[in-house]
Structure 1
């Protein structure tokens, strides 16, 4: 939420969340506050300039971390929606999972390895600057960048979802047990244990006088706890949905829209008074040629509705996700994510038999999340 697109890198859309301003300030303040002790004698303004430069370079390092995930995912055939920088570093949104444990491992471990490699590069650069007698303040920023990237790389390798180390653990458990769902549950539970440890350490720091560090560590632990619970719920839901077929959730025999009537006729004769918001478009011989939804209708100006045919604004059939009635719902969900769709037409050998909408899938997911929630025994 609140992310601002800033362009594309290597073909991936890049966005920055407003919360990046928080970490940009924290990094700048942290570096500007520690530099006077490490390298005294410079004007105060120069420390703040060095702090801001170091913070911006660190954000670029975080972006490199996420872009490595995205590049490895694309090579593995996984669709990448976008890369976003935010309060806790960055997130790469993927349109599915890797096909094998080996590919999942490569995608997961690539980010921390990038951070560790950058730590080595910044450390070597700082050492070189010290060796040739360059400006000490610049070398100090280099050492700081090396230390923070080292910390980020090692922290992300901690074995618990949603950290990269949790993804590595999931890949290992997947390879060991042959079950990606069981592996996901195991990695999520490890993430919960890690969260409790971080919260405990944060409270300990808080009680011993390190207020800011303690609160930050506890807050980070709380975030990991919430995210790991969500991941476990998703894994359990996916396991339950594996037994559900598309035919079980589709709307059978959906109303169709004639391709050769005008948009105005379609609105008055079909859309008004009907509860449906998506219609397969049928040619004169009954062949389905596309799909029309409220999105396409909104794109037609009121003055053009009487002169525009439904077939002219419908989504062509090759661009509409399709499914078979006996397919698992989980397969359809992956297909919809990869095609960025929210509806699918269901067909068998006889032709169109149904339609699955986002509302159908959302209700199904909600029902199975409720059903799969752990029950609590009554206290006596």
Structure 2
């Protein structure tokens, strides 16, 4: 289940809520203050309030462009069969979250590339409107800024490294060539790290090439962007390895064989049923053959030997949640989604084959099979 961002809902697109997060307001203030000197230089006679209003208008124009970018992602994702969970405007611009496994490289590439292409199309439209202006004016300044910012956002997002959209395109290309999405993710993640380092080194080295000293403000912004790219690439690589581990999960490799005893059987019978089978779980079924729970070995062992033949097995029973049975053939993301939906926090769930109980599955073993990939 996708965890939604916290924020204010301002509408819906592609069936999903559009959210403005708290961090967006931080970005709006910072960008307004950063653009204000440009407005002041363009219109020196304008008062401070007017300068801030125009600067904020640019910020709204910029985030409207970001919103169009995310809407493009959302619409294509839905068209490719995914459920769109949210569109959010954030400190870093925005993101679109959608559910459902991406099964083909082409789908992933299309969903990714449409965002920056939307920005480049907007840049062209703003530039056309700017060139149609007959004189320098505040609207002309905003059109020029809209063209430049969209061109930058579109081009930057097409850089071939995760977590950028271009990185997802590169991931898809490597996936198509190798047949392994994880290989594509790792390759695009390393390129994303390289892009992050290049941004920082560019801010430091480029001025020196021109015989100037690096600007501290520019270096700070470059370091912030570089850290964002490095962190995003690293998380994408971890997620890719985790996804690979999930795809290899199979009920048959993690289950424990079960022996079945009917409800009302004495504890002694449960012990006899398990004897000689090695590692085995004892499952209690009702008169219809439906599993009701499993026998806790420690609770069963605590029953005095002279009473084991009379004490019903229900005294050591750990009930299964209703409908928690797992099919023998389930695996991968389907298995995890099923457990998340029906296990109800239970430690153990029954495994059935054609409606017959054949094993139990320890949920903690499933979690452990996924966790190592997330820690690499």
Match of 1:324 among 323, 327, 334: 327
Would the aligned equivalents of 1:206 and 1:215 in 2 still touch at CA under 8 Å?
no
CA distance in 2, matches of 1:244, 1:362: 10
Tell me the distance in 2 between the aligned counterparts of 1:174 and 1:39.
51
Give TM-score scaled by structure 2 length.
0.72
Report the CA distance between 1:187 and its aligned residue.
Answer: 1.0
Change (3 A) 1:48 1:193: same
Paired position in structure 2 for 1:163: 164
Q: In the alignment, which residue of structure 2 is the partner of 1:239?
A: 244
* Structure 1 stretch displaced more, 24-33 or 37-46: 37-46
> Which residue pairs with 2:267 in the alignment?
none
SS in 1 for 2:30: helix
- CA offset at residue 153 of structure 1? 0.5
CA distance in 1: counterparts of 2:97 and 2:6, whole angstroms: 13
Q: Which has the larger radius of gyration?
A: 2
TM-score norm. by structure 1 comes to: 0.71
Residues paired across the two proteins, number: 312
Q: 1:327: how far off?
A: 3.4
1:349 equivalent in structure 2: 354
RMSD: 3.4
Q: How many angstroms apart in 1 are the aligned matches of 2:356 and 2:43? A: 75
Kept in 1: contact 2:5–2:88 (CA 8 A): no
Instruction: Please give the alpha-carbon distance, in whole angstroms, between the structure 2 residues aligned to 1:342 and 1:14.
Output: 29
Alignment of 1:364 with 2:369, yes or no, is yes
Q: Distance in 2 between matches of 1:221 and 1:100?
A: 30
Q: Deviations over 1:118-151 (max 9, x none)?
A: 11222222333x13x5x71121111111111110
| More divergent stretch after superposition (200-209 vs 102-111) | 200-209
Q: Is the 8 A contact 1:109 1:165 kept in 2?
A: yes
Give runs of aligned pairs for residues 100-249 of structure 1, distance below 5 A.
100-128=104-132, 130-131=133-134, 133=135, 136-204=137-205, 208-249=213-254
Contact 2:247 / 2:332 at 8 angstroms: preserved in 1?
yes
- Whether the aligned pair in 2 keeps the contact of 1:66 and 1:90 (CA below 8 Å) is yes
SS in 1 for 2:161: coil
Which moved further from structure 2: 204-213 or 62-71?
204-213
Q: CA deviation at 1:76?
A: 0.8
Residue in structure 1 matched with residue 103 of structure 2 by the alignment: 99
- Distance in 2 separating the partners of 1:221 and 1:204: 15
* Runs of 5+ consecutive residues of structure 2 not aligned to the other structure: 264-284, 293-320
Matches within 5 A, 1:53-64: 53-64=57-68
Q: Kindly indicate whether the alpha-carbon contact (under 8 Å) linking 2:250 and 2:332 is maintained by their aligned counterparts in 1.
A: yes
Structure 1: runs of 5+ lacking an equivalent: 259-281, 290-314, 374-380
Query: Where do 1:8-27 residues align within 5 Å?
Result: 8-27=12-31
